[in-house]
Structure 1
């Protein structure tokens, strides 16, 4: 947590502050301006506005600007937007994607000999390496930035580079070296006008003293920051300094002074309508008072949770649930502790999916740039050919024809390989996110219960049994995943064999029994034990598990799910069905399913479904020579049908 806070504060100081920009005004200008160059800068400004808290919106506007800049062959704007995409991904810890964007931006700025933006890009590459723990590589990037700043006699950039060098050393617990860099930044900054950089220096020096146990020095620096930021324009930083001063007092054993500073921070957050800061301060206060009054601690945490939900901040809400679980454990309220842990893990799972979506959006942005650049390069080549035609018309026509044909084949082959590679990647990520994280995600919750006092032997055995069942299911899914991935990558056909479906049906009913019990759902199957089909057994296992899981998710409590099989009219296929009496599927969603689209939906108790499972089910059934279809009516339930070849064995 400290590592992330450190870099968020550094980014907030070293980047231009856009939070006070009127977003409605920017969007109005974007709609009304006719200049494409102005539109690019507006896309960039709006992306910066959303950078810290709404990564999806920030990425969306950056990609729009990148496409327009590419169409206009505006290299500098392309570099600036790629740099912005790097900052977005750094802010949200997508470091690999951020590195790719910044390296591409660096190539553009170097080709343009744009020293200022090259310095900024080197600095952010240093930030990434520092966050990854690569101190040597981080220092290499930042020293390059310092050398360029010295050549340009740019003291402002030198200060920023020394700050980030100190930040990296601080992250890796080299506090003495960090303090050396911060002091250099402080000396250089004395020659500059008063700015927000002064606050960054005060904050970092105070943090180093705090880490080193020099609480008095830390408090002195934090108090200076408090004094300099006591106005509405720097309210966020004022609250940060107050909470840091509180932490220094608490580490020195003075909880009463810590509470005074935290309560002051809470009052300021309320005064300036900063709900996220209010919630964070409430968490801190709850942590202090829990030793004397768990009830008061819970009251503060519930207020924080209410705020987190109001501002739609799932990460903050997950942090509150974790703290509440600790209090419930302290009070021996184990049911409440388990419930809050489940809520926390549900939020963390949703954040995992969001992060993957952001990574994919970043990759799409880079692919869009590559594709657009290739097209522009081809256009430029054609223009050169047209100029040369006037000199040697026949020779150039023949040469141009050959080159176009050769390039077209190469581009076509590259696009096919890229599409295949992306398809395999997307499918693998889909299975990992949809089918493997679920069982594994439940294990920490069950282990947390085992750690609790007051669990009797029978309950321990029951939990261990569930853990064994979930781990076996996870192992099987992982094995199937690796085998399937190998098949996809190597182009090997599915492994068809004769097997009895009832074995896999009963196994998966057992795996999902606890999930069904939670909603008082009964699962029945009339599939005969002697029935045999000819298909890929691992595919059937995946299909029946996901259809059954979806049926449970979208069924109402106290209902029944029926698994049925019958021969097709031609006696060559076996038709399986999974029927529920749950929420049903709208006509629009059914059409999306038939078009192989993915749609996010929610179960009858708020369970989240991404639609990835159904997409994979269709693929597996088709690869086994079968078909899938459904019948559904909203609020009355759904029946999914799929067919597989009947075994030739008697």
Structure 2
């Protein structure tokens, strides 16, 4: 293994030497010539702004600190000169620095700000580049679906401007998108197109990103030797470009590949290189990945104790990373709100100042006129009358401005209320994800980890399979409720009523939930024989049925019975889900349909998020129905009504009139 690692280092050095000789950057350093030009050009004009931005762009991969200094000076100078293009480029450079530090939310805010400014001022070239940047950020946030529209819009603009170098970059990012979407053949197509363009133009500086993505794709395909070759190519180009962030990521990926190839000594050396690079980068995400790969390497070598210790470190860093991301997101939101509030206050102060200055100016004119016309009494009387009328007009304007200020204050208060409501929705979502959803996933992850490393036999795993399946099923239903609730809170509920056959829906839902009932040895039956057509939103009714039946299964012990009953009452269909479970305590019954989000564990410790029943109540009432329940120890029934279809309702009314005539 040591010989292999030595040979690998020799080959890497040879490859880097070849890259420096003939394939990548020219022997001259562009940073030196730019610094010399900046030193000789001391005049504070747009030329100096351009030099500062170019220097910042050159240094952002090798020395982000210098980029921050140059970009900050460029931003201040551009603002003073009202130089829009300089402001856009400086803001983008500062955003790229945040990317090297792993602050993706902050990078997104700054890039969006630059994009709005570019679009407003018709900067088509920068609009294409910034759309590409946003797509790249969304890729790093594992959100390829949202990234693709930005990248395709960027590609369209760049093709319109015939910018071959920029087209190659966007093709590379589209390939990354498809790689995250597991469309590996499509990803390779776009990456090879990007490679072809870069090689045809001699633009080898960006090939590091392309070959890194190709290496990751072949790793996913299980072609580890091919993956290693592309990652080594990527390393050579990153080193030639002094791209420290790229070098750190590639060391990590090479270590993972060599672990899979069982080249453990080489992998260990590459992980040490990755850790050394990250000392200067201080990238929290790379540090987290480092401990994850180190745990996998220790596990592959059979050192399970060290693997567990490194895995625990990875888990701790992962929780800390996401906590920091959440805190940054909250801080950014608060900062935006405070900034907008200050801007509104400044506008109000300026308006008040203008009114005050106008009043003073008018008063000075009137005093001068009065002093000049003191000799003539009639003229003085006329001027005093005009002064009085003018003051009345000023008072009216001042009152009008005060009313406008009051209106703006009311708008601000309403926005504060909306922001508080959205924060509650966000806190609820984070609470459910962190406490109720992460637990079963963590258990499953741990068991799969043991199974993969053969620390648990297949027979032992099967003994837990039923419990795992039930927990994951409950988690899936909980996630459905959470997503529907979050959508209703943030976007409002959109109802799409239609006529549909309700008995078939009940049968299908019961068939879906029978396996869950059998897991708990609970008998689940229904008494709906005749088809009944109702007029309601089918998706909402499906969720209401699923919530009520799954709740009944959750709180019914083994050997219990659950029945689904239905009766036609007038122009409504009444549906009841009845069980002989534990029931709901009297002291908690007022919480069931409230916004307290009441939840308690089931008979086998099943968890819930407390959103199912309030959401069901909203859905039933939106469909012009009613919902209620009756509970005591040993028997609980949840009932709701929905309108019959027009045809069935007319038929029921005809039958009722016929009975009345006969009687």
Normalised TM-score (structure 2): 0.47
Normalised TM-score (structure 1): 0.48
Larger Rg: 2
